[in-house]
Amino acid sequence: MIFEMRTYRLQPGSVPEVEKQFGEALTERVKVSPLGAFFHTEVGPLNHIIHIWPYDDLQHRTRVRSQSIANWPPKIQEFIVEMESKIVVAAPFCPAFTSRQHGNLYEIRTYTMLPGVTQQVVERWAERIEGRVKLSPLAAAGHTELGPLNQWIHIWAYKDAAERFRIRDEARAAGAWPPNTRGMFIKQENMLVVPSSFSPLR
């Protein structure tokens, strides 16, 4: 499985209107392929929306986009300042994008890896992930194939910010996390995001 993460930076104050228009247009779009998730940023770079679309492969993505062009995208161009797309190869332990409710807050963490260490990162995460997901759900994980390269992206669900801090402390204290990947990353970023009312992941 691959998934596409599309991130749009919007004009300040326009997020509610964009989400409204996006939700209205989504009815026809999801007849062609499902939405994986839709978020807006709460902490980190503000006025951003992130929508995630799962596909079988790049050919599936190309076919879907050509089939949906008549009804998609929604007419939100006036609100968009900047757009970015990443194609992410899902890790073997990445859960499927199905409709489920995890919590009210998600954390998207983006780590830039040294070139050539992707397989090592996947293997070391695989060794520890079973213990970590007992503490809070993993929503997605994988590495970029197109777009900014050498990125390791993982998304975690929490009920709120307090739970996030508590679980991260518990995971470190128990020795369950993080995996032994020190020295493999050269940059780490995160943002806290809130799901929209129509997001399959909530």
Per residue in 107-121, pLDDT (tens digit) is 999 999 999 999 999
pLDDT digits (tens, 9 = 90+) for 78-108: 999 999 999 999 999 999 999 998 889 999 9
DSSP per-residue string spanning 112-177: EEPTT-HHHHHHHHHHHHHHHTTTS-EEEEEEEEESSSSEEEEEEEESSHHHHHHHHHHHHHTT--
**201 neighbors 96 (Cβ within 8 angstroms):** no
Rounded Cα gap, residues 132 and 130, in angstroms: 6
Nearest Cα to Cα of residue 95 among 1, 181, 5: 1
Structure tokens at 41: 């940023």
Confidence of residue 174 (pLDDT cuts 50, 70, 90): confident
In 33-92, the DSSP E strands lie at 37-43, 48-55, 80-90
For 169, phi and psi rounded to 5 degrees? -65, -40
Bin 19: left if φ > 0, else alpha if -120 < ψ < 50, else beta: alpha
* Length of the chain measured in residues: 202
Q: Structure pTM?
A: 0.95
In a 10 Å sphere around its CB, with 0-12 CB exposed, 13-18 middle and 19+ buried, how is residue 190 labelled? middle
Q: What integer pLDDT is reported at residue 70 of this predicted model? A: 85
User: Does the pLDDT at position 176 exceed 80?
Assistant: no
The average pLDDT across 55-73 equals 94
* Higher per-residue pLDDT: 70 or 167: 167
For 105, phi and psi rounded to 5 degrees? -140, 135
The average pLDDT across 193-201 equals 97
The residue written with tokens 């062609």 in the block is 32
**CATH T-level topology, domain 2-195:** Alpha-Beta Plaits (3.30.70)
Strands 138-146 and 37-43 turn out to be unpaired
User: Does the pLDDT at position 55 exceed 90?
Assistant: yes
On average, the pLDDT of the chain sits at 96
